[in-house]
A and B are shown apart, each in its own frame.
Chain A
Amino acid sequence: MNTDLLISHLWVFLLATFVGLLVIRRVSPLLHTPLMSLTNAMSAIAVVGSLVVTGRQQSTLSTVLGTVAVTASMINIVGGYLITYRMLSMFRKGKQAK
């Protein structure tokens, strides 16, 4: 990574964090648990790195570590989105409940 690349990454990091802060600040306290499980599923984006490490098959060590990482990420992707959806399906407005 050269300096130019580092600086462009830092820009992305800065702006994405700022967008995140603005968007997430608006989330109602009612939905804080689904918010956490959704962002948790999103942080399984680590799968992108894991897939490449696994698929390149450069060394036994990297393939093993990569496979474990893909598994861990997959658990979070499948489990995280599913439980968030399940939670949100439980939130009902007053009139429908009666």
Chain B
Amino acid sequence: MGAESWIQIVYVLSALCFILALNWLSAVPTARRGVLTGVLGMALAVGGTLLNPGIVSYTWIAVAFVIGSVIGVPMAMMPMTAVPQRTALSHAFGALAAALVGTAEYFLRAGGAEMDRFTMGALAVEVILGFLTFTASLMAFGKLQEILPQRPITYRGQNLVNLGMPAAAVALAVWLVIHPGSHGLFLLMCGLALGFGVLLIVPIGGADMPTVISLLNAYAGLSAAAMGFVLNNKLLIIAGSLDGSSGLILSIIMCKAMNRSFSNVLFGAFGQVTAAVAAGEQKSYRSASAEEAASILLNASSVMVVPGYGMAAAQAQHKVRELYDQLTRQGVNVKFAIHPVAGRMPGHMNVLLAEANIPYDALLDLEEANSELPQCDVALVIGANDVTNPAARHDKGSPIYGMPIIDTDKARTVMVIKRSMNPGFAGVDNELYTLDRTLMLFGDAKAFVADLIKEVDAQSGGRG
């Protein structure tokens, strides 16, 4: 058996590891085993590839390994609040690698002149998806890191540009399949993909980031799968399509959780459309102090906390944990209701609360939370807005109509920690705030929870 056969056997084992890794990731008890299996799969893939007799020099590979590890380790040590932007950045790296390999392959094969049509077609898919995901992920990173403005930016003819650019890139790809030797057009296609990536994210607002990050995840995976077609490598096809299907499933879950379609997320520019609706008459609301709120919490037997991006932005998760500990010690049953799109990426709230040491069995998903809320004494909303708006259930005119929400209004008392009565990201008034059973707690999420902790402590006679 030659080296090539051994490499293929190693690749088969590697693919097996990747599938098992995802299988074990499905539940918390086996999830860490899943990660380790994934590491083994990657080690096999890299090891097997290094046996390739075509590799004549290891110098640059070693250099790249060192630089990559030196950058990779600190990127893994970021705090959980920074996970969305870190993820966007790593989508960018993954896509860049695929796009650059595609470009190198194109110019290596005598400038593409000797390339057959299938290979050229796959290469075009790899390069277009790779480059557009690269710039789009960098833009998403910029918005999440707040280097770029978070709100959607729209201009006239935007949708025309955003449809025209990919159409032009695809037209060039078709031309290249017929005439692979047109170097200039290949570079133009790369340029279009890079430019389109930027423009694609310009109209996307922060609240849509979970969907967009999932979509970019899928693109990066598909780009790697296309690379497998170019290089005749089945391991690449398998790992790439696993990544692609994961991104696809997450995007679908995110879209369903917002009751919107892909095209609506990408071309809808949420914030703009709804700004006009927000200008309604001011309704009256009730507010309460930390002292009153603390006494309500202490007298409750069950409390449902509804966290949102505001909790992450205020870095309030550790204070929330302290409050959780105090109330739990006083015999209050505290749980957390996590909406699928709460935060800036899928599952964002769960990792934040897990980091703050809140046990994961206290974290409920949308359905679980909604079945418990009618029996809850208090729903405490911290930094969430649109996902709690009852208008989504009945107001057909509301831009969020039809979106599944957390039924906080079914709890006996609702308390909302919020900076002011200003509408949230989507610019939609939240009916929840003006209900009779709702108390507004005005202040910064972190500061207010800290006050609550002090009051709970004082009122429970220091036993909390």
Contacts and interface: CB of A to CB of B under 8 A. Distances in A.
**Interface size, A (range):** 35 or more
Which of A21, A35, A67, A72 gathers most chain B CB within 10 Å?
A: A72
Interface string B34-48: 111011011001100
A34 B31 CA distance: 9
Contact of A69 (B39, B63, B97): B97
Nearest 6 A-B pairs (CB), nearest first?
A74-B68, A55-B55, A32-B347, A78-B72, A20-B245, A82-B76
A76 B45 CA distance: 14
B93 interface: yes
B46 A47 contact: yes
**Interface size, B (range):** 35 or more
B368 to A, nearest CB: 10
A45 B235 contact: yes
Secondary structure class of chain B's binding surface, majority of residues: helix
A80 B90 contact: yes
Nearest to A10: B229
B28 A31 contact: yes
Interface string B283-300: 000000000000000000
B9 to A, nearest CB: 15
7 contacts: A36-B87, A53-B104, A76-B94, A79-B75, A83-B76, A84-B38, A90-B354
Given A30-B363, A73-B94, A87-B354, A45 B224 contact: yes
A55 B61 contact: yes
Given A50-B101, A61-B107, A82 B73 contact: yes
Contacts of A72: 68, 93-94, 96-97, 100
A83 B86 contact: yes
B229 A43 contact: no
A40 B250 contact: no
B68 A78 contact: yes
Secondary structure class of chain A's binding surface, majority of residues: helix
Contacts of A45: 18, 42, 45, 224, 235-236, 239-240
Given A34-B347, A55-B52, A73-B97, A48 B236 contact: yes
Which of B36, B65, B72, B220 gathers most chain A CB within 10 Å?
A: B72
Interface in B229-287: 229-250, 253
B414 interface: no
B26 A77 contact: no
B242 A39 contact: yes
B28 A30 contact: yes
Contacts of B359: 92-97
Interface of A: 1-3, 5-6, 9, 12-13, 16-21, 23-59, 61-63, 65-97
Contact of A40 (B41, B78, B87, B245): B87
B60 A1 contact: no
Contacts of B71: 71, 75, 79
Interface string B194-236: 0000000000000000000110010011011101111111111
A5 B200 CA distance: 34
B153 interface: no
Contacts of B91: 40
B239 A84 contact: no
Given A78-B73, A81-B39, 14 more contacts: A9-B232, A13-B237, A28-B26, A40-B87, A42-B242, A45-B42, A47-B42, A49-B236, A52-B52, A54-B55, A71-B67, A77-B42, A77-B46, A79-B71
A21 B21 CA distance: 14
Contact of A23 (B23, B98, B224, B253): B23
B427 interface: no
A85 B243 CA distance: 18
Contacts of A65: 100-101, 103-104
